Structure 1
Amino acid sequence: MAEKNTYQEMKPVNELALEGGEPLKEAPPAAPAPTYFKKMLGAGEKPPPQLPLSYSAFSFLGAFAGMGAIGLLHTYVMMPDASMVLLVGSFGAMSVIVFSGYKTPVAQPKNVIIGNTIGGLVGVVVFNLMQELGLGKMVWLSAAFAVSLTIVAQELTKTVHPPGGATALIYIITPPVQHMGYWFVFCPSFLGAVIMVAVGCITNNLAEDRVYPQYWWPSEASEAEDSDEPDEPETWLGQYCRKFLGAGAAPLPAASPPTSQTWCSFLGSFLAIASLGLLQQYLIIPKMHEMLMIGAFGAMSVIIFSAWKVPFAQPKNAIIGNTLGGFVGVAVYNLFLLAGIQDYVWVGAALSVSLTIVLQELTNTVHPPGGATALLFVIVPLLHKYAWTYVVTPALLGTVILVLIGCVTNNLVEKRHYPQFWFPF
């Protein structure tokens, strides 16, 4: 039997221990609700178990194929023939979700395609509206609205997908894509997500213990009909193709918070992105000449403020996982530079994301925005001048800021307790 991967199912941390099949003991009397400040010490939950190396091999293969496909199409089709951008940073985060957390609700086709398209649409609408109001120069405000409104729209439609937050933010802070206007909603937002889902179906299902998608459209899990006739042996190809129909699983609710808490998701993400933008505009760039606001923090905001209870969102995963992404991105770019092959951007993009996933799985710090952080350094020439300081600012510093704001805002809701754990080793 295949080993269970608790990252895959993206269940709340305190539900992970209920899967052993043993009868549950009678619960002790409920303890008093923790105070606001006591919540910040953590809920005392434990992280999921370490993933096996065999799992990481298929994660690497899928991520490399997915990013390679998008990179090749961007380089040889979309840019030359249509002058449209396809390769953007949010697909680094999407790769981590689809190929490492393929069982999670946020990895299923409905969430991936609709959630990312929503992010593209919100980004374009907010940008245009701010321009009409004469507030276009207030990038920090546009960025905060784009990410927080994306979260609201995703929660209301139950299509929470963290890379959608990155897609919205990237449109706001990246002038080279703003000429696309509403075409940005189609490409890269929609088209790139469809490509990633297609590659996810092809590569994930090569592994015997993987079935992707878990469902195409959310519905109650269907139970197999009993039959007295023995099942005929099925060929490997037949089993492989049947996986494309989905596992028939019922969607897990972990990544779809109740709409009564959406105000908190909006508040937290707005404050987080606004803080990064203001710090960059008035402190980081003028005083330190560094970068703090990157697209990956749009995805991180969705995870920390909307899916706050899952392992991906906890401080250990966020801080270490995103810092690893920054390190891998810089290392891969410098390696390609030394080898004189820096023009093969699509290869560097694929390698940086897939290596980030492997390192995150080996250190038990899977965090999707780390894939975006790695990818952005490779594909955005503006970032290259920051060299290794990119690992500290924005990768590490920006993450610490978001985690701290997550502690402050998430715990305003009585039923939220963030973090679930800090740094258990």
Structure 2
Amino acid sequence: MKLKYKNLLQHYSFYLGGDQPHVPWLERIRSVAGAFIGLMLVLTTAKFFGELSGLDEWLMASLGASALLVFALPGSPMAQPWAVIAGNTLSALVGIATIHLVSEPLIAMPLAASLSILGMFILRCLHPPAAAVALIAVLGHVMHYRYAFFPVMVDSILLVMAGALYSNLTGKCYPNKSGLSS
């Protein structure tokens, strides 16, 4: 009977995160500390730039999701600089263009997200949080293309720079150079 419950638990553990790889506590702490430090640096710098330029918008809302990839999964293709910077910037541009062309949010939101995914496929810069950037632009009725460059592109660049500095200081290679030939 005990074996039956154990087998049942193992079988259904997939649905409760059983498919997630084991991550040692030291790596968890390294990732969490990196995300905290990196986000603090990015947000402080972006806020400073926003105040300096007189702009209220200095924060990209999906930055936390991008930070998860950059600091916890620095080897992922979706966490590499091109994916983060180009994916987020492109998606913001797509979201803004969509809100200019389609006034119905129930059509504009899925259209913006799906077109941003298509654009990321074409430019080879798949970055999952970027699809949220397109939705945020539509939901926020962002009408100025400047938003794609500041805060979205600037925040993305700052995050990648903070990720590279932190990862390399803590023994992780970022950006991942394994795909490059020597």
TM-score computed with the length of structure 2 as normaliser: 0.83
Give yes or no for contact 2:79–2:127 (8 Å, CA) kept in 1.
Answer: yes
1:198 Cα deviation (Å)? Answer: 0.2
1:188 Cα deviation (Å)? Answer: 1.8
Greater Rg by CA: 1
Map of 1:306 onto structure 2: none
Alpha-carbon distance in structure 2 between the residues aligned to 1:149 and 1:85: 24
Map of 1:71 onto structure 2: 43
Map of 1:164 onto structure 2: 130
Identify which range, 63-72 or 94-103, moves more after superposition: 63-72
- Report whether the alignment pairs 1:202 with 2:165: yes
Alpha-carbon distance in structure 2 between the residues aligned to 1:154 and 1:122: 11
Question: What is the identity, as a one-letter code, of the residue corresponding to 2:58?
Answer: L
Mapping of residues 87-98 of structure 1, within 5 Å? 87-98=59-70
Alpha-carbon distance in structure 2 between the residues aligned to 1:219 and 1:206: 21
Give yes or no for contact 1:70–1:86 (8 Å, CA) kept in 2.
Answer: no
Structure 1 residue ranges (4+ consecutive) displaced by more than 6 angstroms after TM superposition: none
Give yes or no for contact 1:106–1:160 (8 Å, CA) kept in 2.
Answer: yes
Mapping of residues 196-345 of structure 1, within 5 Å? 196-208=159-171, 210-215=172-177, 220-222=180-182
Instruction: State the identity %.
Output: 28
Give yes or no for contact 2:86–2:125 (8 Å, CA) kept in 1.
Answer: yes
Give yes or no for contact 2:49–2:58 (8 Å, CA) kept in 1.
Answer: no
Return the structure number with greater helix share: 2
Gaps of 5+ in 2: 1-13
1:160 Cα deviation (Å)? Answer: 0.4
Alpha-carbon distance in structure 1 between the residues aligned to 2:69 and 2:169: 17
1:62 Cα deviation (Å)? Answer: 1.4
Alpha-carbon distance in structure 1 between the residues aligned to 2:175 and 2:69: 12
- Report whether the alignment pairs 1:141 with 2:107: yes
Give yes or no for contact 2:46–2:155 (8 Å, CA) kept in 1.
Answer: no
Map of 1:117 onto structure 2: 89
Mapping of residues 52-71 of structure 1, within 5 Å? 52-71=24-43
Q: Write the deviation string for residues 326-364 of structure 1: whole angstroms up to 9, x where unpaired.
A: xxxxxxxxxxxxxxxxxxxxxxxxxxxxxxxxxxxxxxx
SS at match of 1:205: helix
1:163 Cα deviation (Å)? Answer: 1.6
TM-score computed with the length of structure 1 as normaliser: 0.37
1:113 Cα deviation (Å)? Answer: 1.0
Question: What is the identity, as a one-letter code, of the residue corresponding to 2:34?
Answer: G
Gaps of 5+ in 1: 1-41, 131-135, 223-425
Map of 1:245 onto structure 2: none
Change in CA separation of 1:110 and 1:76 when aligned onto 2, cut-off 3 Å = closer
Alpha-carbon distance in structure 2 between the residues aligned to 1:221 and 1:57: 32
Question: What is the identity, as a one-letter code, of the residue corresponding to 1:171?
Answer: A
1:56 Cα deviation (Å)? Answer: 1.2
SS at match of 2:169: coil
Alpha-carbon distance in structure 1 between the residues aligned to 2:121 and 2:84: 13
1:166 Cα deviation (Å)? Answer: 1.1
Aligned residues: 166
SS at match of 1:147: helix
